Amino acid sequence: MNPGGGGNDLYNQIGPGFAAFVVVFLLALAIWLLVRSMNGHLRRVRYREAAEQQAQRERNERSENSGSRELSEFSELNELNELNEPREQDGRRPQTGSGRQE
C-alpha cells in the first residue's frame, strides 16, 4: 500500500526540505548550549559546597582545639575549688542544701 496514493510517486519526491533541517539544527544547538550552561552551574555548586565543607572542617578543628583548652582550664578550676572547699575531719564534705535532717 502506498500512502501517497495509488501509483503516485509524489510521496517519494516530497521530503522534509531545508526548513526542517534548519529547525532540527537549531534545536540541537539549543540543547548543546543548555547542557553546557548546566554543567557550568553544577561545577560552581560543587566548588562552593567543597569550599563550605572545608571552612566547616576548619571551624570544627578550631572549636575542638579551643574546647580542649577550655576543658583543661575548667578541670584546673574544678581541682582548685575542691582543694578550697571546707571538709569535715573525716574528709567528707559538709552537707548543705535543702536535705531534711532527721
Q: Domain map of the chain by residue range?
A: 57-83
Mean pLDDT for the stretch of residues 26-41? 97
CA distance to 78, 80, 98, per residue, from 83 (Å): 9, 5, 24
Number of H-type helices and E-type strands within the chain: 2, 0
Q: Is the pLDDT of residue 98 over 90?
A: no
pLDDT of residue 37: 97
Mean pLDDT for the stretch of residues 84-99? 62
Average pLDDT in the chain: 76
Q: Give the separation between CA 42 and CA 37, rounded to whole angstroms.
A: 9
Predicted model pTM: 0.43
Q: Give the separation between CA 5 and CA 87, rounded to whole angstroms.
A: 115
Residue type, 77: L
pLDDT grade, residue 102 (50/70/90)? very low
Q: Is the pLDDT of residue 95 over 90?
A: no
Distance of CA 94 to the CA centre of its chain: 53
